């Protein structure tokens, strides 16, 4: 496995481009193939989510059109008609089947789309479609909202016999990030040129999302628009299921970590690894509880390891897996510019002044051992909670 440049456009059979005008952007990705999707479990799903979910029932798409600056969420029948109109426009401009166009939106909830603007932008975007790396970057920038940088990655996997398979993706997300998919908003578009069976495509996406985007928390709020789409163009050879799953999970985790690093107002990236839980599901729940806790996040912002550990303990105890009983085996290790064992076998250790500098730095790693002796573990990613998060969300749009 090798990290390469080019994002989506490193994948054979994919062209992309996008433009941004103020806070209104439009991205277009062209690439035909088998498709799988996962979507927000928010009970109020945006029109484009409901529309795209129906579009993918046949298991193929030829293009993705996505706008930023308006979520087209809670917009009634007009919102559904506008989502369909976006698909019709992309179909007309590209000469592809309307039934094979996915539509996504991100931005404020409750506003109707400016279809005149979208049609005008689409004409410009189509002219710029390219299989060059700049196409992926332009598309990634076009769907940004409160993001401070665009997010893309790609890898190449050697399948033997001098053949390679590429997996590339872009994602947007900075706030309103607490995805939970059985699948402002998280949108991820991932392409591969591997030739895959439907079962492998669907199963691989489900596993990868569960171990990446679903383990990323910025603020604990679930969007109405969260969507992850995976498209396989089949332009390269076969790849083993194990190798593809490993590659797809890597790509999704790299994109998820970029979201956490770009959390609204964030100054610190947080990684929480929990091991020794009764099961993998329990480990995931504990890890998410820790990165989701406003008290843990604010203590990390304040660089207070003495406060962080107590709040981690509270988060563990409030997780759904917690049962009355002994937690005497819990140990917590903190790592920033320095590393320190802060809790050992259920007892808080004294932190000297020098050890308290452990919370300084832009990356904070928290290792929690539940002390059960079981090998189950999980990792979650997030960021600190700062004054700027409140400022951004009190004044945006």
Dist. CA 154–CA 127, nearest whole Å = 24
40: nearest Cα among 209, 169, 179: 179
User: Which residues, 6 or more positions from 252, have their beta carbon under 8 angstroms from its beta carbon?
Assistant: 169, 188, 190, 208, 209, 211, 212, 213, 228
Tokens of 23: 């806070």
Of 149, 292, 138, 156, the C-alpha closest to 214 is 292
87 Cβ contact list (under 8 Å, min separation 6)? 51, 55, 65, 98, 101, 102, 103
**Residue 358 DSSP symbol:** G
349 CB-near residues (< 8 Å, 6+ apart): 341, 342, 343
Sort 134 into a burial class: Cβ within 10 Å, 0-12 / 13-18 / 19+. middle
What CA–CA distance (Å, rounded) separates 232 from 206?
Answer: 15
- Reading the block at residue 241, the tokens are 């299921």
Spatial separation of the C-alpha atoms in residues 7 and 154, rounded to whole Å:
5
100, two tokens? 């094979």
Question: Kind and range of the H or E element at 386?
Answer: none
* Contact indicator for 205, 291 with CB cutoff of 8 Å: no
Residues 255/8, Cβ–Cβ less than 8 Å: no
Rounded distance between C-alpha atoms, residue 35 and residue 38, angstroms: 11
d(CA 54, CA 230): 15
Question: What three-state secondary structure class fits 353?
Answer: coil
Q: Which residues are catalytic?
A: 185
257: number of CA atoms within 13 Å, CB side?
16
Q: Which residues pair with 299 in a beta bridge?
A: none
């Amino acid at each position: 496995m090798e990290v390469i440049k080019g994002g989506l456009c490193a994948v054979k059979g994919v062209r992309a481009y996008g433009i941004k005008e103020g806070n209104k952007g439009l991205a277009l990705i062209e690439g035909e193939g088998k498709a799988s999707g996962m979507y927000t479990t928010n009970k109020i799903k945006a029109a484009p989510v409901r529309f795209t979910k129906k579009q993918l029932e046949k298991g193929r798409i030829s293009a993705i059109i996505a706008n930023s600056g308006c979520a087209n969420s809670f917009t009634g029948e007009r919102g559904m008609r506008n989502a369909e109109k976006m698909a019709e426009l992309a179909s007309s401009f590209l000469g592809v089947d309307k039934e094979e166009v996915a539509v996504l939106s991100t931005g404020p909830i409750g506003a109707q789309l400016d279809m005149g603007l979208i049609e005008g932008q689409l004409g410009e975007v189509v002219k710029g479609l390219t299989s060059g790396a700049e196409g992926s970057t332009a598309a990634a920038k076009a769907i940004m909202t409160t993001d401070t940088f665009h997010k893309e990655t790609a890898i190449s996997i050697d399948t033997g016999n001098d053949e390679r398979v590429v997996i590339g993706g872009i994602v947007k997300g900075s706030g309103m990030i607490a995805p939970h998919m059985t699948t402002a908003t998280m949108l991820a578009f991932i392409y591969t040129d591997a030739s895959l069976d439907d079962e492998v495509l669907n199963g691989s996406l489900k596993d990868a999302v569960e171990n990446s985007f679903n383990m990323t928390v910025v603020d604990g709020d679930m969007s109405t628009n969260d969507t992850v789409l995976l498209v396989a163009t089949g332009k390269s050879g076969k790849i083993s299921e194990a190798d593809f799953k490993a590659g797809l999970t890597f790509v999704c985790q790299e994109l998820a970590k970029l979201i956490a690093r770009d959390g609204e107002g964030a100054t610190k990236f947080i990684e929480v690894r929990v091991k020794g839980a009764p099961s993998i599901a329990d480990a995931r729940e504990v890890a998410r509880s820790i990165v989701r806790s406003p008290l843990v996040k604010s203590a990390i912002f304040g660089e207070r390891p003495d406060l962080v550990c107590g709040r981690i303990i509270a988060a563990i105890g409030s997780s759904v897996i917690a049962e009355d009983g002994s937690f005497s085996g819990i140990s917590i290790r903190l790592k920033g510019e320095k590393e320190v064992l802060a809790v050992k076998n259920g007892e808080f250790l004294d932190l000297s002044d020098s050890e308290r500098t452990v919370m300084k730095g832009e990356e904070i790693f928290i290792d929690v051992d539940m002390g059960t002796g079981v090998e189950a573990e999980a990792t979650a990613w997030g960021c600190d909670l700062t004054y700027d998060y409140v400022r951004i969300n009190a004044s945006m749009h």
